[in-house]
Amino acid sequence: MAGPTPTGAGAGDGTAGDGDAPDPHAGGENVEHDDWYRWGRVVLYAEMLLAVLVTVFSLYLAFTGSAGFLT
């Protein structure tokens, strides 16, 4: 038994809100980005690497019994 058919705005009609909006990059076309986008990605990846290094260092200190004492 099928449930009720959705009606109203965004009810499977391709408008925003129903999850079936077309992907603007689905065709595989090459998208041109500004310079800030490239440098923003570089900074983002550097921050992610720094976060991983801090996490590894923190785990190292915790498992060696040195947590809280850096001397």
Instruction: Supply the pLDDT for residue 47.
Output: 98
The rounded percent of the chain whose pLDDT value lies above 70 is 55
Domain residue spans of the chain: 33-57
Residue 40 zone, left/alpha/beta (φ > 0; ψ -120 to 50; rest): alpha
Reported as a single tens digit per residue, the pLDDT across 9-51 is: 555 555 555 566 666 666 667 788 888 999 999 999 999 999 9
What is the residue type of 20? D
Question: How far apart are the C-alpha atoms of 56 and 44, rounded to whole Å?
Answer: 19
